[in-house]
């Protein structure tokens, strides 16, 4: 077995994987600063520090790149939103931190979701992920509710923790990050308190 050749092949594979990730990260990050129509392969290549030919070698086309970016974005967002189950304050803190980083990007994508298919896929995945996040994070508080009541409470929690709620408080009202976090926490706590009262009746 040629150890040197194996090492070289492994190093190349690792470098190729890192280059691919850098390109996907660049395509993802550009979404927060530009309209999709303004993001060409040359812009992604420049952001990633590679050539357009390298982007094409990894993804084949602009469509292929943005299709891959959807899956990449889902993994990135899920990791950023990882939260201790049942801890309301921690959940809201993580969520607001995520919106501070990605909120404006999410809003820009949502504004274009009816125009570009890959953005529709991203936003659909984001909405599904957000609801699943609510159901998982607040599962201890949701336990014991009837199916209909649970569905209603989840709907309210989704609204209370939605990116548009963050926008209304943070961007439109101009509240600080701490004030925004406090207000979202108040909304979530009120919904959960009402749900607890319904368990007792």
Q: pLDDT tens for residues 74-113?
A: 888 888 899 999 999 999 999 999 999 989 988 988 888 8
CATH number at residue 38: 1.10.357.10
Choose from 19-33, 120-134, 177-191 the range with maximum mean pLDDT: 177-191
Domain co-membership, 60 together with 136: no
Counting the structural domains of the chain, the total is: 2
Domain co-membership, 62 together with 103: no
Domain co-membership, 114 together with 40: no
Q: Average pLDDT, whole number, for the chain? A: 90
Dist. CA 37–CA 62, nearest whole Å: 11
* Domain edge (last residue) among 80, 105, 138: 80
Residue 51 pLDDT class (50, 70, 90 cuts)? very high
Residue 11 pLDDT exceeds 80 = no
Percent of the chain whose predicted confidence (pLDDT) is above 90: 60
Percent of the chain whose predicted confidence (pLDDT) is above 70: 94
Domain co-membership, 19 together with 70: yes
Residue 201 pLDDT exceeds 60 = no
Helical (H) or strand (E) element with 17: helix 3-30
* Domain edge (last residue) among 24, 54, 80: 80
Domain co-membership, 43 together with 140: no
Helical (H) or strand (E) element with 87: none
Residue 67 pLDDT exceeds 90 = no
Residue 6 pLDDT class (50, 70, 90 cuts)? low
Taking the model in full, what pTM does it have?
0.78
- By CB atoms closer than 10 A (0-12, 13-18, 19+), residue 49 is exposed
Residue 24 pLDDT exceeds 60 = yes
- By CB atoms closer than 10 A (0-12, 13-18, 19+), residue 29 is middle
Residue 113: CA count within 13 A, CB half-sphere: 16
Domain co-membership, 18 together with 107: no
* Listed residue (4, 69, 5) closest to 36, CA to CA: 69
* Domain edge (last residue) among 52, 80, 108: 80
* Listed residue (81, 72, 58, 78) closest to 30, CA to CA: 72
Domain co-membership, 90 together with 49: no
Domain co-membership, 44 together with 116: no
Q: 35 lies in which domain range?
A: 1-80
* Listed residue (90, 117, 21) closest to 29, CA to CA: 21
Dist. CA 140–CA 179, nearest whole Å: 26
Domain co-membership, 105 together with 198: yes
What's the pLDDT at 73? 82
Q: Which residue has the higher pLDDT, 147 or 3?
A: 147
Dist. CA 188–CA 154, nearest whole Å: 10
What's the pLDDT at 37? 82
């Amino acid at each position: 077995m040629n150890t040197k050749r194996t090492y070289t092949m492994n190093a190349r594979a690792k470098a190729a994987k890192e280059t691919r990730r850098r390109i996907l990260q660049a395509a993802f990050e550009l979404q927060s600063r530009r309209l999709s129509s303004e993001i060409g392969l040359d812009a992604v290549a420049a952001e990633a520090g590679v050539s357009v030919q390298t982007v094409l070698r990894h993804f084949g086309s602009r469509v292929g790149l943005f299709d891959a970016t959807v899956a990449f974005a889902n993994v990135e967002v899920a990791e950023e939103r990882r939260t201790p189950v049942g801890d309301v304050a921690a959940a809201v803190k993580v969520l607001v931190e995520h919106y501070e980083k990605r909120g404006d990007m999410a809003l820009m994508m949502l504004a274009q979701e009816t125009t570009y298919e890959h953005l529709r896929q991203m936003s659909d995945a984001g909405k599904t992920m957000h609801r699943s996040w609510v159901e998982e994070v607040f599962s201890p508080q949701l336990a014991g509710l009837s199916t209909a009541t649970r569905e209603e409470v989840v709907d309210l929690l989704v609204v209370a923790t939605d990116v548009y709620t963050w926008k209304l408080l943070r961007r439109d009202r101009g509240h600080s990050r701490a004030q925004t976090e406090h207000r979202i926490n108040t909304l979530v706590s009120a919904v959960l308190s009402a749900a607890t009262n319904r368990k007792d009746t």
